[in-house]
Structure 1
Amino acid sequence: MPNNSIKSFGFDIYATSLDHLPTHHQTLVNTINQYSYCVAQNDFEFKNALQKSDVLLPDGIAIVAAVKFLNKIKIKKIAGADIHEYCLKKLNKNHGRCFYLGSSEITLNKIEHRLKLEYPNITVQTFSPPYKAIFSEQENEEMLTKVNNFKPDVLFVGMTAPKQEKWATEHKSKIDAQLICTIGAVFDFYAGTVKRPSKIWINLGLEWLGRLLKEPKRMWRRYLYYGPVFILDILKLKFSK
């Protein structure tokens, strides 16, 4: 089990603050929420990627509640947006380098523009891979070459789950970056192409409801279907002991 993590419902969940992220070796950071947990139950490759994480962040109030219910331990929700902000502040302080891999050229251009204003000490490079389910060997090599030629301190991968987690896990040993973070929707949040729910929703533990109300057609299944599925699974784990 990774340091600073707790074993719960089959995964090693990160249980402390981001200030304790491991720095002595290459670190792959993924996140887990109720939706990704449910999807992983029927996708072995995805489940394997999450279980192989060096750090698996509890990105959702349901995950936090499940750990408390099963392990009687209180942990704090850490979203992809949180690790993103944490890394940017640290990189800006240290004049570091980061690479954004994923999303569209429009989104990446908006990210670069905002970074120049908010974190002027960071050197950044981006690449938009083809929008497809499976990359060819040549496309994978192109992505790896662009990242490794730049040698970022942090690589942010935003290809949506579960593709991003599978890709990062498969290619981790070939990536020349100290920290690899799969953060999906954060690319759009930071670029402003998708608005994240306000701090009020987040602080109340209702970010999921804010996203559901903003994008009901896209989000209803994630929360209204997989929410009860996740709760039922956790209850089974609790009372089957």
Structure 2
Amino acid sequence: MFLPARDAFPVETRRPYRMNRRPEERVKVLGGEMDLVRPEEVFHFVAGRIAGGKGAIVANHNLHSLYLLQKDPQVVDFFKAAELIEVDSVPLIFWARIVGRASRRFHRCTYLDWRNDFWARATKENWKVFFVGGAPGVADKALENIRRDWPTAQVESHQGYFDVTDGGAENEAVVARIKAYKPDILFVGMGMPRQEKWLLENHKKLDPCVGFTVGGAFDYEAGVQLAAPRWMGQVGMEWLFRLMADPERLFTRYCVEPWHLFGPAMADARRALARQLKPGKKKNAVPPEAAYRRATDLALKP
């Protein structure tokens, strides 16, 4: 059993402009914190921030980002700054479920999964979107395809092959262009961790907007990369499709880096076992579904 999306509740019952997390939503798995939210909850959060004239950073975790957390302090700082952290990995969702977290497949949140719903919402709400990333010409082709499907979409872009040095002339020119456009939403697709570091350094220079890191999303939009069938993503096999399509670039990411997460995985398993063996556990404790509903009622209480 699962609860209806937040948008199913009357507007007056919601707290605006901030994430109303249930205890089950923010979890720590494989050394990183993340939010077990569905796409409609992400859009609700985004709409609230925009309506309130406030900015935010929306990050996403996968096995690669969790590996980078161990290696790069700037990546750690980025995820600390993020107000919402999506889960972009079905294997990660499966592991969270194994160690006792309330994760489900519908908690996978990635651009390719919520693309259609996002652009439908963006055109309805008249959100202005700016994309920075991709090779020269790629973003232009991506925008052409988006405008074909959603003619009223307000979206502009800048290629991602520029000197991102903080304070450098090229970087400041890109920041100035974004500021002049005044987007509600900023998509940054420069690959991990370059996009995370750039957004961390530059988001504070912009007028309030909601910044997302989206990786190669616009490469897929432009057709320069072939996206895996969505069913492969839903069953946790998208990584295999991508590895077969680009083995030279992705072999280390998919076949070597996960072994570095063995330590955090064992820590997860120990914590899960400790929760199960916790003394004083009542046999007639509140059933999980009832506790879930109770926590949600408290979160949505005006």
Q: TM-score, normalised to structure 1's length?
A: 0.90
Q: Which amino acid aligns with 2:257?
A: Y
The 10-residue stretch of structure 1 (52-61 or 18-27) with the greater mean CA deviation from structure 2: 18-27
Q: How does 1:11-22 map to 2 (within 5 A)?
A: 11-21=32-42, 22=45
Pick the aligned partner of 1:7 from 27, 31, 34.
27
Q: Which amino acid aligns with 2:178?
A: V
The 10-residue stretch of structure 1 (74-83 or 219-228) with the greater mean CA deviation from structure 2: 74-83
- State the shift of 1:133 in Å: 6.6
Pick the aligned partner of 1:47 from 48, 55, 76.
76
Match of 1:161 in 2: 192
Query: Structure 2 stretches of 5 or more lacking a match?
Result: 1-17, 275-302
Match of 2:300 in 1: none
Distance of 2:209 and 2:117 partners within structure 1? 15
Distance of 1:154 and 1:140 partners within structure 2? 19
Pick the aligned partner of 1:108 from 126, 134, 139.
139
Distance of 1:11 and 1:175 partners within structure 2? 27
Q: Are residues 29 and 85 of structure 1, via their aligned partners in 2, closer, same or farther at CA, if it must alter by over 3 Å?
A: farther
Percent of aligned pairs with the same amino acid: 21
Work out whether residues 101 and 127 of structure 1, in 8 Å CA contact, stay in contact via their aligned partners in 2: yes
Q: Is the counterpart of residue 91 in structure 1 residue 122 in structure 2?
A: yes
Match of 1:217 in 2: 248
Measured on the aligned residues, the alpha-carbon RMSD in Å equals: 2.2
Distance of 1:62 and 1:176 partners within structure 2? 36
Q: Secondary structure at the match of 2:256?
A: helix
Match of 2:261 in 1: 230
Work out whether residues 11 and 51 of structure 1, in 8 Å CA contact, stay in contact via their aligned partners in 2: no
- State the shift of 1:59 in Å: 0.5
- State the shift of 1:232 in Å: 4.4
Work out whether residues 8 and 71 of structure 1, in 8 Å CA contact, stay in contact via their aligned partners in 2: no
Q: Are residues 83 and 151 of structure 1, via their aligned partners in 2, closer, same or farther at CA, if it must alter by over 3 Å?
A: farther
- State the shift of 1:130 in Å: 3.3
Distance of 1:140 and 1:158 partners within structure 2? 15
Q: Which amino acid aligns with 1:16?
A: V
The 10-residue stretch of structure 1 (229-238 or 191-200) with the greater mean CA deviation from structure 2: 229-238
Q: How many residues align?
A: 241
- State the shift of 1:167 in Å: 1.3
Q: How does 1:135-214 map to 2 (within 5 A)?
A: 136-214=167-245
Match of 1:33 in 2: 62
- State the shift of 1:158 in Å: 0.9
Q: Which amino acid aligns with 1:198?
A: P
Q: Are residues 79 and 26 of structure 1, via their aligned partners in 2, closer, same or farther at CA, if it must alter by over 3 Å?
A: same
The C-alpha deviation readout for 1:132-154, integer Å capped at 9, x for no partner, is 57455322321211111011121
The 10-residue stretch of structure 1 (142-151 or 86-95) with the greater mean CA deviation from structure 2: 86-95
Distance of 1:153 and 1:83 partners within structure 2? 18
Query: Structure 1 stretches of 5 or more lacking a match?
Result: none
Q: Which amino acid aligns with 2:101?
A: K
Q: Is the counterpart of residue 63 in structure 1 residue 92 in structure 2?
A: yes
Q: TM-score, normalised to structure 2's length?
A: 0.73
